[in-house]
Structure 1
Amino acid sequence: MNRIKAFGAFWYDFVVGDDWHVAALIVAGLGLTAILTHVAGVNAWWLLPLVAFAALGWSLLRATPRK
């Protein structure tokens, strides 16, 4: 049981890391891309890199000190 718990803790730390907001935005971006692709028939490959770039920028903006 300890190995299963350690494996789960590793993946949680790897995916979520220090900022769960970024992980939530990436999951939302994956979901929105899937919905646009499968339901609306839109070629939405470009959406996930855009969401990832925006999430990274937002995370850096929150992490850097203001002057």
Structure 2
Amino acid sequence: MNKQPLVLRLLKGFAMFWWDFLVGDTPELFVAALVIIGAVALVSERWHANSTAVIMLPVLAIAALGLSVKRASDAAKRK
């Protein structure tokens, strides 16, 4: 029998769900998404360069995905 109170178990389960959903197996993509969103928001708000921000978002997202795929490919080759 689990000694933790029900509320604590529910909170832990809720936190573990969101961690697995957001971070999952590739924490670098989660960090990359946060950095990309921050960079786009900074460019848009600080310098009012909305057109630049619109172009930056997909370019940075594709670059992050490409780096993640390359990293996974290199890891698979080492095995």
Which protein has greater RCO, CA pairs closer than 8 Å, 6+ apart? 1
Question: Would the TM-score normalized by the shorter structure come out above 0.5?
Answer: yes
**Aligned-pair distance for 1:58?**
0.9
Runs of 4+ in structure 1 off by over 4 angstroms are: none
Q: 2:26 aligns with which of 8, 19, 34?
A: 19
CA root-mean-square deviation = 1.6
Q: What's the TM-score once normalised by structure 1's chain length?
A: 0.85
Aligned length: 67
- Which protein is richer in helix relative to its size? 2
Q: Which runs of 5+ in 1 are unaligned?
A: none
Question: What is the identity percentage for the equivalent residue pairs of Structure 1 and Structure 2?
Answer: 34
Q: What's the TM-score once normalised by structure 2's chain length?
A: 0.74
1:1-67 mapped onto 2 (5 Å cutoff): 1-43=8-50, 44-64=53-73, 65-66=76-77
Q: Which runs of 5+ in 2 are unaligned?
A: 1-7
Larger radius of gyration, structure 1 or 2? 2
